[in-house]
Amino acid sequence: MSVGENIPHDSAVSHATGKSVFIDDRPEVHGEVFVGIVTSSVAHGKIKKIDMKEALHHPDVLGIFRGRDFHKNTWGTIVEEQPLLADPIVSYMDEPILLIAVNDRKSLSTVRKLIKIDIEEIPSIFTIDEAVAAQKFIHAANPFVQGNVEENLKRSPHRLKGVFECGGQEHFYLENQASVAYPLENGQLEIHSSSQHPTETQHLVAHALGLRYCDVVSIVKRLGGGFGGKESQAAPFAAYAALVASKLRRPARCVLSKDEDMKITGKRHPFKIHYEIGFDDAGLLIALRVQLYSDGGAYTDLSPSILERAMFHLDGAYYIPNIEIKAAACRTNNHSNTAFRGFGAPQGNMVIESIMEDIAVYLKKDSFSVRRANCYGIKERNVTPYGQWVENNQLPFLFDELYKISAYEKRSQEIKDFNLEYSGKVRGISMTATKFGIAFTARFLNQANALVNVHADGTVQVSTGATEMGQGVNTKLAQIVADTFGISTELVRVMPTSTEKNHNTSPTAASSGADLNGAAVLEAATKIKQRLLSLGTTLSWTDVVKKAYFERISLGEYAHFKTPGLDFDKEIGKGRAFNYFTMGTAVTEVEIDEYTGQSKVLRVDILMDLGRSINPGIDRGQVIGAFAQAMGWVTTEKLVYDKARHLLSHSPTTYKIPSLQDTPPILNVSFIENHTNTVNVHASKAVGEPPFVLGLSVWTAIKRAIGVRFAGKVIPLQSPATGEQILGLFKKMSKET
Amino acid sequence: MAQTTRHYLLMYINGERVEVRGEEIFLDLATFLRRRRGLTGTKVVCAEGDCGACTVLIGRYQESQNLGLSYLHFEAINSCIAFLHALDLSHVITIEGIPDNGRLHAVQESFIKNHAAQCGYCTPGFICSIVGMVDALKGEGHRSISMKNMQSYLSGNLCRCTGHAPILHAASELNISKIARLSERYHDAHILNDFAANAPIPVDIEFGDQHLYLPVDLNEALKLKAEFPDIKMIAGATDLGVLINKDRYVPKALLSLQNVLEQYKVQDRHEDRNEFFEIGTRVTINRVEKIIGQAFPEFSKLLHFFASHQIKNMATLGGNLANASPVGDTIPFLMVAEAEIELASVRGRRSMNVNEFFLDYKKLNLAPDEIITGIKLAKPTKPTDSKDQFRLYKVSGRKDLDIATVTMAARFTIKDGIFEKFSLALGGVAPTVVRQRAIESFMQKKPWRPDTFIQASEMLATSIQPISDVRGSAEYRLLLCQNLLLKMGDVRPKWARHGGAVP
């Protein structure tokens, strides 16, 4: 009933009235202190001496803390190797070294100037090339191999070789990293943080302070945006607040400014990719050899998993009979790069979409026909490089249908005509696809638990491990519960995520929030419903609940869910890595000003298979939001560093996310009917990350538009396609011709 | 009237009277609202006026007086870089003041219905901007909201979740004829009387080693500037706000002309047969854009991209000049327009051609006791005179609300296809905005032909030495300037000259 309805976000009213409470909106309680961070002024070095005597005498300073003040100063989601506070080795510019506790945050700038940190510099590695030359790797993955690449490359009628680089991306969530820690009795702590992973926050705080998990409660009401940036990297800031709270026995708040946040925290991984592709006259792929390198930064963080997902998505929507994917994550002296919507998949996918454009140029074909010819088949040509079949494959339909509804053919002709007439502008059009594997590739994370409590008045409280960061997971959970009970969502409240109600939870990540927690919620609610059904079906909801209470029938339920059937074997690189795929296609038309290199998206058409959407309005928001974010990544969002590795683009003045004017003037989003995804709750499909990959069509369209001036030439466009890069390419290539 | 001195700032917040004293006058409005008034609906993200999360609306008594209004007109500003000392005699409306007696505003209802909020952090700022837009458009007699309106009024707000399309949709669905303006809802004679009674009283507030002066007439200001030459003059203070927030600067003594009412005037003046705009230093860029738009359509277009609506509601031409940015969005235009800067001190008044005003990076040709009191801009001989033409360009990483990589202003007269006069100013290529005298003289008497522009653009390779920075490399800057000249002459860039498009 309420599943499938387009109802508003459960926080829509409080958001629109400014009443939604985020971490720094919490009223300061008596005795509360603010925690400031002092960071490194070099990218790599050994701390020789810290002089904080003068700072400690500042009247507003209550304490200054170092790494050694933690019970355990190392953390890491995959490998415990990253210091909470660098001590004594610093490994990246602006790495946190000290915490200052003050009464008033306004004092921090003065206090910081009183501290002198003497660091002896150590040579640094900043680029992927330098790391590869020095063989500095965080992780080298087991390769994915299918068929015989060597032999088939040799016998390919055509071969293209290339190197492709894509840049990082700042999350730019609007709410910066933020935590408050409240000391409780018996050494317990209550942490409120803006985190996608309350359980990791709980565990890290416990490790850092030498507490047991049962002594730390970690609560997340909501996040002002996450996008992966608060999956692993929110936890250290909670540990900072917790350390100060426990040392001073006072509530402690740690909230970063945008500049601090951008300098300290990790970003999307930049990648450098070497490839050789073999194909036939029709453009059909024969063999592909790829070596991926990512810049993991100074510490492991989530880099191995992100690298793997890049490998899993290198095929994109296309069947590659012979393929070899090798990959390694480099260790550099950059901020430790981390999860960001897509989690490596966009970087992997970008390689194959770039290759598709190049093959089309090389064979003088339209890139759509090359893509369509290589698209995974329904009955054949449908095995991925890691051996999983592409089941329930909607890709051919999504390509063909969007070709029609976007008027691709007619517009291609119009664009050709436009480009023939000189106007100082060139246009390009391109269709790309997404086939996003849904499941954590770390198998154990594919579990969730839920608590559903029906109160005597018939209202319901639902708790899960999912965190609400704007994506609408709470709304979907409420809809699933309301639907199960046959009641209005008005009667259902989804409560703040708390580790005292839901334990050992997975991060809200990998687009899985509604899938995993929705399934758990459905199971819990169904169990309650079955008990109520025994009381007869003629009673109204409130009456049956009342009756159940007096009959001493339990009105609460807990359920645990795990995704069945996942058996990917990392050793051999084969198996069922994903529960299913979310698929879609997008056509983008761009225009480039030949004088300035500035690009503009004129029109976007998106077609997606989201199964039976639980809330089409929310899903639409996810699709458009993800697309826009990807559009920024491939165009204006450029991270700029100086020689010493200071991040120069550390605020919106210098780091440009898409603005309202960048919204494509024509933006059509449609979903296909597909009720067959029975492996997921209510036959829905995950939506958070898959449409991000569709933003690549902006980049491939730019690549095509530049090519207007250089017929038959492969355009060596890298990402992001800034005005500077585009204009530079025009100039460089016109010299070559 | 007996002149006393006021030792507090007078403001209203959501209809409530507030006297601000002591340390608080040096706070930014966002911090004041959030930490001192418990109004946490206003968010702070970037603290530099670039994201709009902190947007609130203000009605300025001084401005409404000058416009001859009997009510306050509410406009969006960035509260994170607006200091309380810049908001004397203002009525501030925050997101908490947007609902009408507990009933949601139409903008709020539309946001809820159209999924225009996801994480919610940018939402209060967006809603304030849209409410401000509705108020303004209604005031100008519009009945609906166009895409162009939205692009102009909402350029200063960023959302990272929605991709903006749902927000545009929510705004476009509004039926503005049914929405009551804040100026009506918050109209209160008591408030206006209160402001009127306090407006003629100079403000002098000392706290610790900080001092604020808000004189009510120019002579008082000049005396202060003569007595304390180190005093910091502030106009819209949009740049100063950033410097303070980012710990780069703490001014000790501040002097502002915000309560000198004549400074809010734009006057048409005649001298001999020439006509001028005389623009006071308190006239915001948004008002400049409206008032001189007809006479200088190209400049008006440039101002459209100059900055966000919120910034333009605080920023002024005088502030832009005094800030002396090497890019200086309005400066290249003012240079080729040969604008005059009016300066005053206790020693007297003088005016100076804007081309003589910039000595070096952030160094002005200004005596320590002098104050900018106005900008004089000669009107084109006839508004539609096609002979005297301007071409203005701004290129940045993103088209809107982005500090430019380069700016270019050209002005020329042409007769029978031959250039008579030619002026060219470039920003972003040197420590100050620079005139290109060599190219200017080269262009004299040259025909409007492709090779003229190609030669001129080639001259740039030796006449400018731009630097590489976060906004672009030296090579890119040079190439941009060269291409802008070609674009002006409608000459194809090199790669499009031969062969052209490939089918």
Domain limits, chain B: 9-96+186-256, 106-179, 261-378, 388-496
Q: Which residue of A has its CA nearest to B471?
A: A654
Is the per-residue pLDDT at B343 higher than 50?
A: yes
Q: Is B410 on the interface with A (CB under 8 A)?
A: no
Give the pLDDT band (50/70/90) at residue A46: very high
Give the pLDDT of residue B400.
58
Give the pLDDT of residue A413.
98
> What is the DSSP secondary-structure string of B27-89?
SBHHHIIIIIS--TTS--SSSSSSS-TTEEEEEEHHHHHHTT-SSPPEEEEETTS-BGGG-TT
| Residue numbers in A near B467 (CB within 8 A) | none
H helix and E strand count, chain A: 20, 27
Is the per-residue pLDDT at B500 higher than 60?
A: no
| Residue numbers in A near B108 (CB within 8 A) | 13, 16-17
Q: Tell me: domain A31-123+171-264, CATH 3.30.365.10, correct?
A: yes
- Tell me what the mean pLDDT of segment A417-427 comes to: 96
- Tell me what the mean pLDDT of segment B146-174 comes to: 96
Is the per-residue pLDDT at B475 higher than 50?
A: yes
Report the CATH architecture of B9-96+186-256.
Roll (3.10)
- Cβ distance A175 to B119 less than 8 Å, yes or no, reads yes
Give the pLDDT of residue A737.
67
Give the pLDDT of residue A591.
98
Q: Tell me: domain B388-496, CATH 3.30.390.50, correct?
A: yes
Interface test with A, best of B79, B162, B458, B495 (most A CBs within 10 A): B495
| CATH code given to domain B106-179 | 1.10.150.120
Is the per-residue pLDDT at B243 higher than 80?
A: no
Scanning B456-475 for CB atoms below 8 A from A yields 469-473, 475
Give the pLDDT of residue B328.
76
Give the pLDDT band (50/70/90) at residue B274: confident
- Tell me what the mean pLDDT of segment B305-316 comes to: 88
Cα separation values, A164 from A271, A366, A430, A712, B36, Å: 8, 22, 19, 19, 52
Q: Which residue of B has its CA nearest to A643?
A: B469
- The DSSP 8-state label assigned to residue A697 in this structure reads H
Give the pLDDT of residue B244.
76
Query: Between β-strands B418-427 and B434-435, what pairing exists: parallel, antiparallel or unpaired?
Result: antiparallel
Catalytic residue list contains A689: yes
Q: How far is A24 from chain B (nearest CA, A)?
A: 9
| HSE (side-chain half, CA atoms, 13 Å) at A556 | 10
Task: Give the list of residues 6+ apart from residue B276 with CB closer than 8 angstroms, or none.
Answer: B268, B269, B270, B376, B377, B378, B379
Is the per-residue pLDDT at B501 higher than 50?
A: no
Scanning B363-402 for CB atoms below 8 A from A yields 395, 397-402
Q: How do the domains of chain A map onto residue ranges?
A: 12-17+447-562, 31-123+171-264, 271-441+572-736
Give the pLDDT of residue A16.
98
- Can you say whether the dihedral through the CA atoms of A413, A414, A415, A416 is positive or negative? positive
* Preceding peptide of B466 cis, ω within 30°: no
Topology at the third CATH level for domain A12-17+447-562: Aldehyde Oxidoreductase; domain 4 (3.30.365)
Q: Tell me: domain B261-378, CATH 3.30.465.10, correct?
A: yes
Q: What b/e readout covers A432-452, taking b as 16+ CB neighbours within 10 angstroms?
A: bbbbbbbbbbbbebbbbbbbb
Would you call A119 helix, strand, or coil by DSSP?
strand
Q: How far is A581 from chain B (nearest CA, A)?
A: 23
Q: Which residue reads 């409590």 in tokens?
A: A453
Q: How far is A555 from chain B (nearest CA, A)?
A: 32
CB A589, CB A411: distance < 8 Å: yes
* Ramachandran assignment for A356, one of left (phi > 0), alpha (psi -120 to 50 degrees), beta (any other): alpha
Global pTM value? 0.97
pLDDT (tens digit per residue) in A583-596? 999 999 999 999 99
> What is the DSSP secondary-structure string of A365-376?
--HHHHHHHHBP
Is the per-residue pLDDT at B401 higher than 60?
A: no
- Tell me what the mean pLDDT of segment A180-202 comes to: 97
CA distance A681 to A519: 5
Q: What tokens does B300 get?
A: 């008006």
Give the pLDDT of residue B387.
74
Give the pLDDT band (50/70/90) at residue B245: confident
| Residue numbers in B near A13 (CB within 8 A) | 104, 108, 112
Q: Tell me: domain A271-441+572-736, CATH 3.90.79.10, correct?
A: no
Q: Percentage of chain B with pLDDT > 70? A: 95
CA distance B132 to B154: 10
| Residue numbers in B near A20 (CB within 8 A) | 120
**Residue from the list A8, A638, A731 with its beta carbon closest to the beta carbon of B112:** A8
- Rank A430-434, B205-209, B393-397 by mean pLDDT and report only the highest: A430-434
Give the pLDDT of residue B398.
66
CA distance A55 to A100: 9
Is the per-residue pLDDT at B502 higher than 60?
A: no
**Residue from the list B117, B405, B499 with its beta carbon closest to the beta carbon of A12:** B117
pLDDT (tens digit per residue) in A703-737? 999 999 999 999 999 999 999 999 999 999 998 86
